Amino acid sequence: MSTELADLLRLAGRAPSAHNTQPWTLAPSGALGYALSWDPARALPVGDPGRRDLFLGLGAFVEAFSIASAALGVPLRVEYAGAAERGRGMVARFVRADECYRTPFTAADLTGRRSARGAYEPGALPDAVFAEAGDAFAGSAGLWRGGTRELAPLLDEADRWMFGDPALVGELRRWLRLRAERESARDGLTGRALALSGVEARALHAVLRPGVYRVLRPVGLARVLAASSRGVLRYDGSVLVATAPAAPGDAAELLEPGRGLFRCWLTLARHGYATHPLSQLIDCARTAEEVAGRVGAVPLAVFRVGRPVGEPVRSARLTD
């Protein structure tokens, strides 16, 4: 790997992805360019069969790589792959340009952004910040704002559905890094990233082990696990939903909304706000239908936003 690509990836690798899978891969292409693809081993075929989260994450990476290239003074522009190339796994190319990508964001924005799954201070997102966050999508998606308590019962239902599905739990288990010796893992979700205490992390690891899960699932394990996170939305705060007027015909149509979503999160971070994705709300068919009815559009991403009570953990990356 060239020094230039390593430097770009060190910054761009801070892009968010579902379960911190970091599915993107880059390889040299053409004259001083790079080809972006994704690793099927880092996809989530059970939880994300339509590849919504995959391509939103790849879009976020495209934006992060573009910001990184500007920060490092490397003039690049992005060209999306055609249908035939996408069939071979390619997503886009970064090719040499006459000038650097124009962006208000910097390397510090990339390294400073955090997801925060712990407690937030009470308070709704101010109108001015919400408007600025919506403008960050540049027309690629809409943005709806609601109250946390309004969606709390739906999150309870979605969590029960998630923890009650053996295939989903099996896939989640693959990306959990809950044992103490795995806290230094460079991908997946550690206990600290999930805002779990050491005891909570060990308990979750224990009950999700295949043999234990098979025994406890029929006697209400999903309900118990959902109840343990019931406080996530039971306070006075804000939930935001990125929306589209219609369902995308092709997952590649989510690349631009993914770029906008990342700009939205960077905008919020500049104002001191963290975000916490709540994808289960639109992964579960029943609650997804309810969310769509409330927002009056197709939901693409759901996340709560607020000021964390404590300093959020910096998730590790493969490129650290």
Q: Do the Cβ atoms of 76 and 97 come closer than 8 Å?
A: yes
The packing angle between helices 221-228 and 148-164, to 10°, is: 150
Helix ranges restricted to H, the chain:
3-12, 52-71, 83-87, 107-112, 127-135, 148-164, 166-175, 198-207, 210-216, 221-228, 255-270, 280-283, 285-295
Token pair listed for 241 = 């939903």
Give a three-class secondary structure readout of 111-154: HHCCECCCCECCCCCCHHHHHHHHHCCCCCCEEEEEEHHHHHHH
Same domain, 92 and 132: no
Same domain, 29 and 168: no
Nearest to 57 by CA among 38, 76, 80, 85: 38
Distance of alpha carbon 65 from alpha carbon 75, whole angstroms: 11
122 lies in some domain: no
Same domain, 131 and 158: yes
58 lies in some domain: yes
Q: What is the pLDDT of residue 66?
A: 98
Q: Do the Cβ atoms of 61 and 12 come closer than 8 Å?
A: yes
Same domain, 63 and 101: yes
Q: What is the pLDDT of residue 167?
A: 98
Same domain, 292 and 216: yes
Q: Specify the length of the chain in residues.
A: 320
Q: What is the pLDDT of residue 82?
A: 87
268 lies in some domain: yes
311 lies in some domain: no
Predicted structure pTM score: 0.96
Distance of alpha carbon 145 from alpha carbon 134, whole angstroms: 10
Number of domains in the chain: 2
Q: What is the pLDDT of residue 185?
A: 87
Q: What is the pLDDT of residue 183?
A: 65
**For residue 196, what is the DSSP state?**
-
Same domain, 271 and 239: yes
314 lies in some domain: no
Which CATH number characterizes residue 292's domain? Answer: 3.40.109.10
175 lies in some domain: yes
Q: What is the pLDDT of residue 181?
A: 62
Same domain, 155 and 264: yes
- Give the tens place of pLDDT for each residue, 28-84: 887 779 999 999 999 999 999 999 999 999 999 999 999 999 999 999 999 999 887
10-residue stretch averages of pLDDT, the chain, 320 residues long = 90 97 92 91 97 98 98 96 83 96 97 94 98 98 97 97 98 92 83 93 96 97 93 96 95 96 98 97 98 98 96 90
Same domain, 18 and 90: yes
Q: How far apart are the first and last CA of the chain?
A: 15
Same domain, 208 and 293: yes
318 lies in some domain: no
Same domain, 11 and 72: yes
Distance of alpha carbon 16 from alpha carbon 60, whole angstroms: 7
- The residue segments making up the domain with residue 182 are 127-306
Same domain, 133 and 278: yes
Q: What is the pLDDT of residue 83?
A: 81
Give the max Cα distance, the chain.
Answer: 63
121 lies in some domain: no
